[in-house]
Amino acid sequence: MVASWRESMRWQHTWVGLVLGALLFAIFWMGSLSVFDKEIDRWMMPATRLEPPESLSLAPALASARKVAPDASRWRLMLPTSRSPQMRLYYPDAGGDLQFVDLEPGTGRPLPPQGTLAGSEFIFPFHFSLHLKAGQLGYWLVGLAGMAMLSLLVSGLVVHRKPIQDLFTFRAHKRLGRANLDLHNLTGVVGLPFHFIMTLSGLVIFVNIYFPDAATLAYDDAADPQGRFIEEGLGRFSRPPAGEPGTLAPLEPMLERARAAWSGEGPAFVRVWHPGDAASYVEMRRSNQNMVRINRDQLYFDGGTGEVLFRFEAMPLMKTQRFISGLHFIQFDHWPLRWLYFGGGLSGCVMIVTGFIFWLQARRKRHAGQGAFRLVEGLTVGSVTGIILATLAFFVANRLLPLEARFAGYERAALEVWVFFLVWLGAFVHGWLQRSDAWRGQCWAIAMLAVAAVALNAVTTGDHLLKTLAEGYWPVAGMDLMLLAGAAVAVWSARRLTQHRAVRLREVEFG
């Protein structure tokens, strides 16, 4: 019975891992980068490389909002933080799509548009939605992959008879096959708590998307059970516009009241609903900088009088859900932990790629010529080195495209995204054509693009590595250093693969 249980888990681990490995790698890769999404923003949006403001004034930003989006139904002002010095104004356009413009925090003046989605609008949403918007398809695919990841962690543990021993085993000097499996076990077992908690917390964030019918019976008296549940659990206030013009009271007193209510902490954002209308109101959400929990502490003020309309704080279990979400989001300030998350995420990437390589190695002798084997071979290359290459191409395109670039009706930001997806697609094709030799070529390409990105940042912005290091400007210096470190790893991998190939060819020659 035990043997067959282990056998069934081995089967599950092999095939679920194979089918969802590519998707999981993309999610882990983008998630690891998202840990530093704001720093990637600074690198990709040079106009936002600003000092954090010493004091906050909202009036100039509101004046800008009136100019930029006079007819929008709401404005959301994301306030500056230690990682995002600019103010970001989000507003729905005429079609209802959310747009944003960055504002200089002191003067409220719009910063020159940078024409990029950068880290927080491309890489971060890719991590959880894959940018597939139709019917939340991306969310559901990521959810499926997340559940598969949890089950792979469990089945992987069952398959390994000696998980404790795996903690201390990495025979890097052995043949690539042995070293590869050691590395898979090592990252899998050492990283297990991190990977399990991150995957589960990632699912818990979207509990309302993945179990949209959870409230059916508990709220069976409501016409819209889920809507009522969200209203009660997460707090929501709304009222329709009056249809008559009104003036907005000054926001500073509201800010003061919010700070008093939240033990001195300010809001993460200020949202003005129905601006210019007599029934306008102002929403403030407490900052997450000093707590793990992505809180739902909210204050709503009457736009005309500044009186408090509604105050909300979640109940304990909902706070727990927000705490678990916060563990995943890591929006609080903690640099050592942020680096550990980055390392943990990358160790997950290593675990996935070594799993793929193990699958291929186990079958290379018997099935090398078969179509299915070749399909997996190309899939692995494209989904591993391919997405890294595409990401670097995204960075390089960001530094190469002029600010006013337009092509075939696409805005600059969309062009960057096109570069990403076309390079990714090309990497798959290259993988299917060149087979296992494609690894080497793509490693060299990664090294070259990473170095090119660092050079282009220096040339186009003047913020070269020596300068940013001397000034201690870590968002850009850190990104450049990581690019160089990545290039070094890519060169090392390419050289190791070259040696491996020489050995393989000798084996073929001499039997």
Partner 1 sequence: MSTSGGMAQGWLRTVQRIGLAVAGGYGFSLAAVVLLAWLLSAVLPRSEAVVLAAMLGFLVYLGVSLWAFAEQRLLTLWLVLGGGSLAAWVMVSLAPGVA
Query: Which parts of this chain interact with partner 1 (CB under 8 A)?
Result: 4-5, 8-9, 11-12, 144, 147, 150-151, 154-155, 200, 203-204, 207-208, 210-211, 213-225, 229, 232-233, 315-318, 320-321, 324
What is the spatial distance between Cα 276 and Cα 471, in angstroms, rounded to a whole number?
A: 44
Q: How far is the CB of 141 from partner 1 (least distance, A)?
A: 12
What is the spatial distance between Cα 266 and Cα 304, in angstroms, rounded to a whole number?
A: 21
The pairing of beta strand 298-302 with beta strand 98-103 = unpaired
What is the spatial distance between Cα 408 and Cα 355, in angstroms, rounded to a whole number?
A: 41
Yes or no: say if 314 and 295 are a contact pair by the CB < 8 Å rule: yes
Q: How far is the CB of 361 from partner 1 (least distance, A)?
A: 24
Compare residues 1 and 164 and give the one whose CB is closer to partner 1. Answer: 1
Q: What are phi and psi of 89, to 5 degrees?
A: -100, 120
Compare residues 49 and 367 and give the one whose CB is closer to partner 1. Answer: 367
Q: How far is the CB of 125 from partner 1 (least distance, A)?
A: 22
Dihedral (Cα; 47, 48, 53, 57), 10-degree rounding: 80
What is the spatial distance between Cα 39 and Cα 316, in angstroms, rounded to a whole number?
A: 33
Compare residues 101 and 214 and give the one whose CB is closer to partner 1. Answer: 214
Amino acid making up residue 266? G
Instruction: Locate 61 and state its tokens.
Output: 């930003």
Dihedral (Cα; 266, 267, 269, 273), 10-degree rounding: -120
Compare residues 280 and 325 and give the one whose CB is closer to partner 1. Answer: 325
Q: How far is the CB of 146 from partner 1 (least distance, A)?
A: 9
Q: How far is the CB of 326 from partner 1 (least distance, A)?
A: 14
Compare residues 108 and 225 and give the one whose CB is closer to partner 1. Answer: 225
Q: How far is the CB of 200 from partner 1 (least distance, A)?
A: 6
What is the spatial distance between Cα 322 and Cα 305, in angstroms, rounded to a whole number?
A: 32
Q: How far is the CB of 225 from partner 1 (least distance, A)?
A: 5
Compare residues 324 and 438 and give the one whose CB is closer to partner 1. Answer: 324
Yes or no: say if 446 and 487 are a contact pair by the CB < 8 Å rule: yes
